[in-house]
Amino acid sequence: MSTKIKLTSLLLSAALVCGAVPAFAAEKAAPKPLSQTFDQMVIIPYDYHGKAFINGEKTDLYGDYDIVQRSGRVLVPIRLMGTLASQFRSQGEWQTIWEAKSPDDVTFVNYGLKKTIKFKVNSTTMLVNNESKKMDVAPQKIGGRVVLPLRSAAEALGKNIQWLDGLIVMGDEVVDEKSAETLAVKNRILTQLKDTRKPVVDEKRLTPITKYGDALYYYKQIYQSSGILQRLYRKTDGKKEILVDIPGEPMLGSDGVIGHDLYFVSTVNNQGVLYALDLTNNKVRKVSTLADWKPSDGWLESISMMDNELYLNLHSGDLTMGSETLYRVDKGVLKKVTNAHSIIGPVKSGDFLYHADFSVMGSAVNNLSRINLKTGERKAIGQADFAYGITRKQDTQGGISFGVNNSMYVKGGNLFVLGYKDSDPKDEGSVYKINPADQTQVKLTPAAGPFWMVDDQIYYVDGATGYLAKTDVNGAQPKTVVSRKVMSAQLLNGSLYYTSNTTGSFSDPGVLYQYDFATGKEIKRSDKPLSSYYIGKDAIYYLANGYDPGIYKIDAKGNTRLVSDRIQTAKLTDEGLVYTLTYKEGVYSVK
């Protein structure tokens, strides 16, 4: 839940906000510059305009909640406090409990920490795991809403709060307020949080698709009582936008650009049709009808070329109970290849196509198949008690989470894929080499996340450490090659690109690195943490959403800032990056 804050008392002293540093902070490490702790903090300005920094990223918060002061203390609404508490990934999820039948009682629960905090309106005693703790000021009802003393609530959550020249800084660390590094970034943070602009409303948002030559392609969503229509537009530099005339009611959110063709599905006379827009001349051609499937049945999951043949995966139904069917386009006709709840992979080798299946609601075991593309014969090639293409993890609260991994490689007649033994609850998934002929398999790695095959080496993210390791195709000579947590990895042009951060969270910004397979060396590529990156033919682009937001380009000249504003969406094309801005309408591009 997001929350917008209206500060009704702006001229509060440092003592009102936090007083002395809480006792629990004395046990923590020495104070650090804000630049080093920025990605672990929640930062809100006194001069509030609907924006905050949360875990290193600028965020727009919505709602109508007031921060107020009473009896010389700052009080915050319960839902805002719960929202802030849940931003600290080191603590896991906090749940806020408030019920109309007990309107004066508020409870925060964190099952992972086995911690419960209870507040009562007009009582200066809070209960932390049923142990009484005194507060300087009691929770109150103001304007019909329960508000909590910020400092006391933060202490109960195990957080430190500091006042820094117009900023409320909340987190696990203590900030060195006098550090030159802190002073260097403080004003840049304040500048970003004083931004009064509002995000572009959904009705006016444009979605970039691609750029070809000097023409930008994007679509608009037109909201009508009967539903949402999508319309494709083209705009060249310095000219007005042009509506591209395409048949029927297209679904453009799952389009795909292959070469100079933009593929998309549309509904024409209640029939699903696959079209291609030739970007060289802006002419549309019909590729194939879509049997009994149409866009209202689901969505186009993917479209790709394998061995110069066009394949498309059509999803029907929702994410939970839906299914997918993979087709090959043959002379304008769809030829069914395979179907599954959710297709993992696939990978083609000769006359065979391999894939796994992932069912959210059903059993995942024995889910690996080989399809004979000539005869259509389908054969299960895994072992009966194993699940493939899936990782399984036990979380700190005792639950189990599953992840899909599309990595599959065929080499020497063997298939290399992730798998875990279902009957072993501790098995999270490792890389296996499978012989499709007799279904024998060899475990090559310990618990692993994503993996990649480069020549005769298998590189994988170690499931225990998060580091990058490698082994050969027989599982021999394992070795750690990068001793840092590897996240958001992409294999391109003979290198592995990845981000890494101190929190180890995929949701937090990270610095970009490149591991060159030929030299075995790691190179730091970005100057600052980034939210996403794109590897182009001649350069690397990345988006930063911290106190120096915008688009950056990495090439032989180093890191260059191309755009100095917050980016909403971006898409890589052969002509550079196509993007939209958070606070300004339009579609733009940089190269």
Task: Summarize pLDDT for 232-252 with one digit per residue, the tens.
Answer: 999 998 899 999 999 999 999
Least confident range of 142-151, 288-297, 309-318, 323-332: 142-151
Tokens 């795991």 sit at which residue?
Answer: 129
pTM: 0.86
Provide the 10 A C-beta neighbour count for residue 518. Answer: 8
Q: Is 90 exceeded by the pLDDT of residue 180?
A: yes
Give the per-residue pLDDT at 113. Answer: 85
The pLDDT tens digits of the residues spanning 329-376 come to 999 999 999 999 999 999 999 999 999 999 877 788 999 999 999 999
The mean predicted confidence, pLDDT, of the chain is 89
Q: How confident is the model at residue 440 (pLDDT cuts 50, 70, 90)?
A: very high
Strand order in the sheet with 567-573: 567-573, 576-581, 588-590
List strands edge to edge, sheet with 283-289: 249-258, 261-268, 271-278, 283-289
**Burial annotation 209-240 (CB, 10 A radius, 16+ → b, else e):** bbbbeebbbbbbbeeeeeeeebebbbbeeeee
Model confidence at 13, pLDDT cuts 50, 70, 90, reads: very low
Report pLDDT for 70: 75
Measured CA distances, 56 to 81, 195, 524, 527, 554 (Å): 19, 17, 19, 15, 21
Q: Is the pLDDT of residue 535 over 70?
A: yes
Can you give the pLDDT at residue 28? Answer: 56
Q: What is the DSSP letter of 193?
A: H
- Least confident residue range of 22-36, 87-101, 525-539: 22-36
In this prediction, residues 429-455 reach a mean pLDDT of 95
Mean pLDDT, range 94-104, rounded to an integer: 89
Confidence band for 158, pLDDT divided at 50, 70 and 90: confident
From the list 272, 379, 271, 261, the residue with the least C-alpha distance to 310 is 261
228/225 Cα distance (integer angstroms): 8
Smallest Cα–Cα separation from 46: which of 207, 162, 125? 162
Gyration radius (Cα) of the chain, Å: 27
Which token pair is 315?
């999803």
* pLDDT at residue 364, as a whole number: 86
Measured CA to CA, the distance from residue 6 to residue 50 in angstroms comes to: 8
CB 28 within 8 A of CB 21: no
| pLDDT above 90 coverage of the chain, percent | 69
Which span out of 66-70, 164-168, 385-389 was modeled with the highest average pLDDT?
Answer: 385-389
Alpha carbon 293 to chain centroid, angstroms: 30
- Number of neighbours of residue 269 by Cβ within 10 angstroms: 7
Residue 163: predicted pLDDT: 82
Indicate the pLDDT class of residue 90, thresholds 50, 70 and 90.
low
Single-letter code of the amino acid located at 497: Y
The reported pLDDT for the residue numbered 396 is: 61
Both tokens of 406, joined, read 């599309």
Cβ atoms of 448 and 418 closer than 8 Å: yes
CB proximity list for 433: less than 8 A, separation 6 or greater: 414, 415, 416, 441, 442, 444, 473, 474, 475
Residue 483, pLDDT > 50, answer: yes
| Per-residue confidence band for 50, with pLDDT thresholds at 50, 70 and 90 | confident
Arithmetic mean of pLDDT, 33-57: 87
